[in-house]
Amino acid sequence: MSELRNNNVLGFSFPDVHEDARASISLMRTLRIPDDNRSHPLPPGFSRFPLHHVDDYASRLSADRRRHGGVFLPMYQAEALRIDFAAVYL
């Protein structure tokens, strides 16, 4: 089961596995790093991208997107995104 929490976190629970089995995903704004085939340290996260239910914006979205459903985030082409994962281990 999945849910969009009010703090812009996607939460997942897996009750068929265990009642406490949970995971979450946050999509963080961050700095862009150079595309120069070198390793760079993880850039800092600034804030979570706002996540929205597709159904809440159905009148503004294409029929394809409405049919697919789910959540989306507004993001400028020049922005960078970092995905943060968290889990409860059994």
Residue 41 lies inside a defined structural domain of this protein: yes
CB 25 within 8 A of CB 9: yes
Taking the complete model, does pTM exceed 0.85, yes or no?
A: no
pLDDT in tens, 25-84: 999 999 998 889 999 998 888 999 999 999 899 999 888 888 888 899 999 988 999 999
Q: Is it the case that residue 90 has pLDDT exceeding 60? A: no
Q: What is the largest CA-CA distance in the chain?
A: 45
pLDDT in tens, 12-29: 999 998 888 999 999 999
Residue 72 lies inside a defined structural domain of this protein: no
pLDDT of residue 61: 86
CB 87 within 8 A of CB 23: yes
Q: Could you list the residue range(s) of the whole structural domain that residue 13 is in?
A: 2-49+77-87
pLDDT of residue 89: 63
Q: CA-CA distance, 58 to 54, in Å (whole number)? A: 6
Instruction: Report how many domains make up the chain.
Output: 1
